[in-house]
Amino acid sequence: MALSSGLDPDEKKPVSRAFVNEDAGSGDPIKGFGLPAHDDPSFDAVAAEVLLEAARNGETSSAEQATGYYWGEPRLKEHVRRILERAQKAGDDRLEQLARRFLR
């Protein structure tokens, strides 16, 4: 297999790969996130945890794909309120900040 010359065959000039995301558009979540089945009674509580932790790690989009919920989903707000209380008691300022943003 020959190595690419880095030239566009039509243009014959170097092609930058600096901004190419080869995984873009795959539609698959990057992580499985350990979610239970959607019909599991604990799914929404776990989904709320997953969304907040993913936001902490810069993976919100993947968590949204995996859970099927978008950031700020009303169905998850009660779970996020409990997470907020827990974060406040634990002194987890970042989780508290993310939970407050979710609840806006």
- Given a cut of 50, the residues of the chain with pLDDT beneath it are 19-26, 29
Residue 38 lies in a domain: no
Residue 59 lies in a domain: yes
pTM across the whole model: 0.70
Closest by alpha carbon to 101, among 79, 69, 72? 72
Residue 74 lies in a domain: yes
Residue 97 lies in a domain: yes
Q: Is 3 exposed, middle or buried (0-12, 13-18, 19+ CB in 10 A)?
A: exposed
**In terms of residue numbers, what domain contains 51?**
47-103
* Number of domains within the chain: 1
What stretch of H or E contains 3?
none
- 17-45 pLDDT, tens per residue? 554 444 444 455 456 688 999 999 999 99
**Cα separation, 96 vs 102, whole angstroms:** 10
